Every structure is written in structure tokens, then in C-alpha cells.
């Protein structure tokens, strides 16, 4: 598999290089030079999740990794289902929250961990360093947990992530070290950047990032769109509209890639909260990001979505007009109202999924089948959901288990020397 840098097309890399590097020169995103032909999509839809996903990912990766290796990677990564639930006639929820950290990021994070392990030289040291404000850190920590030749260091702002989130990934131990930094999320990101800029340190501990724009994550996410369609009654597969709650737009990119591989999807809808750079752009052609506004769907509080250039490239290559994309943006009040409506209809949701549901049901036309992505388990946003629905929702087993465990985080100041010492110590 070859990929090129969207900012400097002459930079071409292999799958392995793209996974290891994350980004190309000049912060450019990698994009596949060729989109594979999958042949008979109906036959593919008849296969089970792991076999089908292995086939799709192997077609992408090509000769670089043996098909057996890819199958092993997929079976280790996808150890939980992506079920489709019927919410009401003609409207389905794709539940992507049955993994260890209860959000869709488990699919991408776990396949990325497998990919990185498959394409790195095991004699060298590898230290994954990342900063998190919640979801990504948890997915990365759980994905790499137990891969003893890879050490993971995760920084987060002390006291500024929800206690439930903190318990979920700061209780693992083993090859996972978590550092509560006396500072803000921006301070954590600045420390990470400083570490990557320190060439000697980078070599010494084999620094690597688990960045959300890594191509292996997107590839993994393509697979659950196929899995979703495979669970629909055949009669409802032909006029399918899928609404995607979007922040950095990785999920929508993966959906469009699935369509480019032949998955029958009539239309996608980009659903956002009031951080609506993309809906405004689709409406008036002006790319005009505004300062990010905090909302109750905080995983989508992004005003400069970093995957957008991939969507533009794909549409250009396929000759799809951006006008074919549906879009919409929802306020917090509307999100709350929708959560209550869904609850009355018998489906417990959380803010991100509710945004997609609202825009989907507003825009669905007669004869179409609708599906929306549920990107996180309602209990992950328990404080917000409990308040809106006046309930006390149960913690699912993985959250309850970690919630009862002791925090193992180190506490450090916003100081590069202290971070450096931590990075060196995990490799000793
Ligand atoms: C990350 C995240 C999103 C946004 O997904 P993108 O791929 O960045 O658009 C939506 N919902 C939840 C719960 C998330 O964690």
C-alpha cells in the first residue's frame, strides 16, 4: 500500500511508514494512492465481522503484511460487537460503544496498536506519548495495555477530566503510565510537543505518537460501516442514509471511504454541535472556523476539524459533489430535548448520538432508511445524562470495575525536565 501526503504529493510512504509517522512533512495527512476493489459486496456482507474486516483491511494494506497477520491483528483488535438496534420504524442505531472504554475510539485505537506492533522493529524501544482530555487517552491506554515491549505515557490536566474518565485509564499499571500534570490540557500538549522536538530524547526512548489522524485508525473504522449494513434487513439496504456525529471528522471520512469501496449508502449527514465550521462551509462555501465553544457533547468541541482535507480529496477523486452531503448543527438545548424524546421512545442515548439522531430524523425522506452512529455509552456522560433525564443510570461492568480501583497516576508539574525523567524511567 502506498500513501501520499496531501500537502506534498511527492512524499509517498508505505503503510508501515504512515503508521509509524502519523503525519507527513509540513503536517500533511496521508491518503491512500489507490482505493482497493473489493469485488462482490453482497458476498462480503454475508461474512462474519472479523473475516470481512480482515478482507477489507488486507485489500488496503496489500503485500506489506501477510493476510494471516492481518486476520490475527483484526481478531485481537475487534473483540467486541458493533450491534445495530432498531429505535423505531426505519431508524436504526449503530452502537459503537461495546469496547473496553465504551466509545468508538476503541476500534481505531486497538487496530492502531496492532498495526504499530506489526510494523515496528522489536529490538528498538518504543514509547507512545500522548496528551488527553479524556476519551482518546482511555482508548489508547487500553489498546496498548499488556503489549510489554511498548511503553505508554499519557499526560492529562490534573483535576480537569471527569473522575470516571480518570479511573477508566489511570488504574491499569503495567506498561501504561499516566501523569496528572499541574496545568491545563494545552500545557500537556505543549509538553508533548517539546518532547517530540527533542531529537536526542526521541531517539533515546523511541518516541512515537498515537495520534488521532493515524491512517490505521480510519481504516479500522471503515469496517463497522460494512458490519452495520450487514445487519439491516435486505429490503432496507438500498436507500440508506447515515448520520455521523462529528468533531474531527474521522468517522465521516471512514464512512465515505466505505462508500467508495462499494458499500451501498445513499447519503451521509455530517452532524455537529454549535461548533459548526463544516455545516456553515457546506452551506455557503466559506471556511471560517470560530473559537471553540464548550458544549455537553464535548468530544465534538472542535472548530478546526483535522480530517476535513481527506474528505475533500476523496470527493474530488470520486467525482462526488460536496453538495451531496447532508449537514446540520444542534444546540445544547435541542440536544437535551432530543435525549428526552429518545428516552420516551424507549432508547437511552447520550449527547453525541442524540445530535445525529435529531438531524437524521429531521432530514429523512419517505422510503429512506435511517441510521445514526452512537459513538459512546450513555454512562460515559453520566453526569449530563442523569441531569437531563432525571435518572441515575447504571455503570456498565468495565466502568464499575475501574471505578472501584485505585488511581496509579504520577503527579508532576508543568515542567519538561520532570516529564523527561518519567519518559526515561519507564524505559529502564
Ligand atoms: C471522538 C468522538 C466523536 C467525534 O468523532 P470524529 O471522528 O472526531 O468526528 C464523537 N463522539 C464521541 C463520543 C467521541 O469520543
Rounded Cα–Cα distance for residues 414 and 411 (Å): 10
Least confident range from 9-23, 115-129, 190-204: namely 115-129
Task: State how many domains the chain has.
Answer: 1
Give me ligand 1 centre to Cα 94, in Å. 14
> Per-residue confidence at 78, pLDDT binned at 50, 70, 90?
very high
Give me ligand 1 centre to Cα 204, in Å. 33
Measuring from atom 2 of ligand 1, which residue has the nearest CA?
Answer: 299
Counting residues of the chain whose pLDDT is more than 70, the rounded percentage is 99
Residue 415: inside a domain: no
The answer to whether residue 123 scores a pLDDT higher than 90 is: no
Among 300, 305, 379, 380, say which to mutate for ligand 1: greatest number of ligand atoms within 8 Å of CB: 300
Least confident range from 183-192, 289-298, 388-397: namely 183-192
Residue 353: inside a domain: yes
pLDDT tens per residue across span 352-365: 999 999 999 999 99
> Per-residue confidence at 122, pLDDT binned at 50, 70, 90?
low
Residue 340: inside a domain: yes
Give me ligand 1 centre to Cα 247, in Å. 6
Q: Which residues approach ligand 1 with their CB closer than 6 A? A: 103, 105, 135, 245-251, 299-300, 352, 375-376
Rounded Cα–Cα distance for residues 228 and 243 (Å): 13
Give me ligand 1 centre to Cα 123, in Å. 35
The answer to whether residue 368 scores a pLDDT higher than 80 is: yes
pLDDT at 23: 84
Count of alpha carbons within 13 angstroms of residue 31, beta-carbon side: 23
Helix or strand (DSSP H, E) at 30: strand 30-32
pLDDT tens per residue across span 386-406: 999 999 999 998 889 999 999
Greatest extent of the chain over all pairs of C-alpha atoms, in Å? 63
Quick one: average pLDDT of 235-255? 95
Give me ligand 1 centre to Cα 199, in Å. 32
The answer to whether residue 74 scores a pLDDT higher than 70 is: yes
Rounded Cα–Cα distance for residues 287 and 41 (Å): 36
Residue 251: inside a domain: yes
pLDDT at 124: 75
- Average pLDDT value over all residues in the chain: 94
Residue 417: inside a domain: no
Is the separation of the CB atoms in 210 and 112 below 8 Å? yes
Place of cell 503510565: 177
Closest by Cα among 198, 154, 287, 305 to 244: 305
Give me ligand 1 centre to Cα 300, in Å. 6
pLDDT at 22: 86
Among 94, 103, 351, say which to mutate for ligand 1: greatest number of ligand atoms within 8 Å of CB: 103
Least confident range from 66-80, 263-277, 287-301: namely 287-301
The answer to whether residue 341 scores a pLDDT higher than 80 is: yes
CATH number of the domain bearing residue 288: 3.40.50.1100
Among 375, 376, 382, say which to mutate for ligand 1: greatest number of ligand atoms within 8 Å of CB: 375
Measuring from atom 11 of ligand 1, which residue has the nearest CA?
Answer: 375
> Per-residue confidence at 185, pLDDT binned at 50, 70, 90?
confident
Quick one: average pLDDT of 157-177? 91
pLDDT at 269: 98
pLDDT at 288: 97
The answer to whether residue 375 scores a pLDDT higher than 90 is: yes
Residue 158: inside a domain: no
Place of cell 462551509: 281
Q: What domain range is 385 assigned to?
A: 80-102+215-393
Residue 314: count other Cβ atoms within 10 Å of its Cβ. 18
Residue 175: inside a domain: no
pLDDT at 182: 95
Residue 98: inside a domain: yes
Measuring from atom 1 of ligand 1, which residue has the nearest CA?
Answer: 299
pLDDT tens per residue across span 195-213: 988 989 988 998 887 777 8
Quick one: average pLDDT of 320-324? 95
Is the separation of the CB atoms in 427 and 125 below 8 Å? yes
Tell me the pTM.
0.93
Amino acid at each position: 500500500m502506498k500513501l501520499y501526503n496531501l500537502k506534498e504529493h511527492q512524499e509517498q510512504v508505505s503503510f508501515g511508514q504512515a503508521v509509524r509517522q502519523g503525519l507527513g512533512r509540513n503536517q500533511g495527512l496521508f491518503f491512500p494512492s489507490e482505493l482497493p476493489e473489493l469485488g462482490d459486496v453482497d458476498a462480503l456482507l454475508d461474512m462474519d465481522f472479523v473475516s470481512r474486516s480482515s478482507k477489507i483491511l488486507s485489500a488496503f494494506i496489500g503485500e506489506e503484511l501477510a493476510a494471516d497477520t492481518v486476520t490475527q491483528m483484526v481478531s485481537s483488535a475487534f473483540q467486541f460487537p458493533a450491534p445495530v438496534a432498531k429505535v423505531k420504524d426505519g431508524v436504526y442505531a449503530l452502537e459503537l460503544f461495546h469496547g473496553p472504554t465504551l466509545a468508538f475510539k476503541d476500534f481505531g485505537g486497538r487496530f492502531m496498536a496492532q498495526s504499530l506492533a506489526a510494523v515496528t522493529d522489536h529490538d528498538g524501544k518504543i514509547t507512545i506519548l500522548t496528551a488527553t482530555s479524556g476519551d482518546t487517552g482511555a482508548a489508547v491506554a487500553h489498546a496498548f495495555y499488556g503489549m510489554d515491549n511498548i511503553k505508554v505515557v499519557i499526560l492529562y490536566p490534573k483535576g480537569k477530566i471527569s473522575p470516571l474518565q480518570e479511573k477508566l485509564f489511570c488504574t491499569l499499571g503495567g506498561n501504561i503510565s499516566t501523569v496528572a500534570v499541574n496545568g491545563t490540557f494545552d500545557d500537556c500538549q505543549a509538553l508533548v510537543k517539546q518532547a517530540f522536538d527533542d531529537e536526542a530524547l526521541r531517539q533515546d526512548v523511541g518516541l512515537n505518537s498515537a495520534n488521532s489522524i493515524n491512517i490505521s485508525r480510519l481504516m479500522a473504522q471503515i469496517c463497522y460501516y460494512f458490519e452495520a449494513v450487514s445487519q439491516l434487513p435486505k429490503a432496507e439496504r438500498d436507500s440508506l442514509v447515515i448520520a455521523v456525529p462529528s468533531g474531527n471528522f474521522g468517522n465521516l471520512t471512514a464512512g465515505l471511504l466505505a462508500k467508495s469501496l462499494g458499500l451501498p449508502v445513499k447519503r451521509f449527514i455530517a452532524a455537529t454541535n454549535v461548533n459548526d465550521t463544516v455545516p456553515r462551509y457546506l452551506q455557503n462555501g466559506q471556511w471560517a472556523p470560530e473559537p471553540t465553544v464548550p458544549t455537553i457533547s464535548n468530544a465534538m468541541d472542535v472548530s478546526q476539524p483535522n480530517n476535513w482535507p481527506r474528505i475533500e480529496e476523496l470527493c474530488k477523486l470520486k467525482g462526488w459533489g460536496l453538495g451531496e452531503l447532508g449537514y446540520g448543527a444542534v444546540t445544547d438545548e435541542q440536544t437535551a430535548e432530543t435525549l428526552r424524546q429518545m428516552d420516551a421512545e424507549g432508547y437511552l442515548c447520550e449527547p453525541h448520538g442524540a445530535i445525529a439522531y435529531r438531524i437524521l430524523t429531521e432530514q429523512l425522506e419517505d422510503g429512506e432508511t435511517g441510521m445514526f452512529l452512537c459513538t459512546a455509552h450513555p454512562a460515559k456522560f453520566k453526569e449530563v445524562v442523569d441531569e437531563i433525564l432525571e435518572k441515575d443510570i447504571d455503570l456498565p461492568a468495565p466502568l464499575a470495575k475501574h471505578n472501584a480501583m485505585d488511581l496509579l497516576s504520577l503527579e508532576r508539574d508543568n515542567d519538561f525536565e520532570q516529564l523527561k525523567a518519567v519518559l526515561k524511567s519507564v524505559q529502564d
